[in-house]
A and B are shown apart, each in its own frame.
Chain A
Amino acid sequence: MSEDTSFPNLPILGQEPTGRRGFLKACGATLGLAAWATAMKPLTEWAQDVSVDEFLQKHYRELTSDQKRAVFQRLEADCRKKHGVDVTISDPQAIPGVQFAYALNLSVCIGCRKCAEACHIENNHDRATNNSYIRVFEMEMGGIDFEKGNATYDHPVPQPGKFYMPVQCQQCENPPCVSACPIEATWQEDDGVVVVDYNWCIGCRYCEAACPYHARRFNWETPQIPAEEINPDQGYLSNRIRPQGVMEKCTFCLHRTREGKMPACLEACPTGARVFGNILDPNSEIRWVVENKRTFVLKEELGTKPRFYYFFDK
């Protein structure tokens, strides 16, 4: 009888007796496992969206042309699966002997935001945030004081006593954002355009903090765009739909401009305030502007050497 009372709860034959210690161990192990699973949950959820190929993809500049082709095909297939849209991922390279530059005539700009709207559409920006790489400031005449600037004005333009200053990536010759990136996910191309490999970026946002022009944006969420509004003409380094959690920026529409076309913002400008071209071509419009107008650059004192020039006619 004494043996029976010492093992009151042992219904299975041949099993080791479980005491309080064993019970607590089992409880602890179960709780630990559950906690670990919860902690790992975001990672497993994230992994659902990331294929092995994507996870193992090398840096853009280390990809061979065969690997690039495979990557672009995978991205095109992903877009077809996620959005039901056939897109083309292109990868135009910098044209030898071409350095892009942009100029903007502040005497002519009326602040209509058509450039920002065109950028929004061309670059497959998130519809809900009405994001764009261009921020148009309504500025007080008499100086360039962004503290007094308003980028969210909503009244007929132009207003008396104001001028309008669109600000986008200045494609600096000495880009602080590139120096700030800890993993070289962003770099300057031979034609001067600063690009991001969206598949290499880890979203630390150091570049956003480093940019004195606030030209970089972070994808807090996956951009939501109705299928019929997706621009199917996409560049790997430019306007393809960015994944969540990566940085993005203006690329002077390199998928267009490296094909010889004007950037979307220039084509949308109704007043012709924008001038774009190859600064190395002595006969180009941009060269004429830089040589003949009193151009200035934003925050010159920082030594970023922007390729984006502003000027007033008078």
Chain B
Amino acid sequence: MIFQGRAKKEEEATRDAFNKEALPHMESLYSAALYMTRDAGLAEDLVQETFLKAFRFWHRYESGTNCKAWLFRILTNTFINGNRRKKRPHFSIDASEQDLSSSVMAETSHFYDTPEAEYLGGLFPEHVQRAIEELPENFRIPVVLADLQDFSYKEIADIMECPVGTVMSRLFRGRKRLQEVLFDYAVELGVIPAQDARDEEGAISLEAYRARRKAVGEG
């Protein structure tokens, strides 16, 4: 059975190549999967499914090209498609008009000491994590890919299978939302003293912050 022997050898070679090129990206994939799914169990399932698909389609990966981006494309596709299948009506994915601040504000913790730090630098990792996780999916994915995984716009466009212009606009809006939420945390925590937060011309101002708070109070 010469044929079988040869096939077996090839299989092993494929597996070796896969182990060497694809598996080292597990840490990055897992981290991104956690931000996407917001659940450790789901993140593990997503990573496993990604690797299995990648292995099955390994012949499509061109050796020596950007393996990380290729894997992230599978991860992102799997996540989005999986979500579409079990989309829950009460959880809006395309929440472009959703007011994020309101839900986040209600849960803001007062238990932390006020750290001495500049601007948002004094935020706790939990806050940043929560602020990212609260972003609607179509903003969260590009933010995670750009800010946590350091992908270029073109790579993100490839991963999300959308034009670079879409990446830019989603990143823009996603980061603006992130900034609002983080700013709210920072003021609540006293990282930014309320009187210093006044910025008559900047992107975020105390006035805007107060208007938002007022709207939340009334709502």
Q: Do A and B bind each other?
A: no
Chain A interface (Cβ < 8 Å from any Cβ of B): none
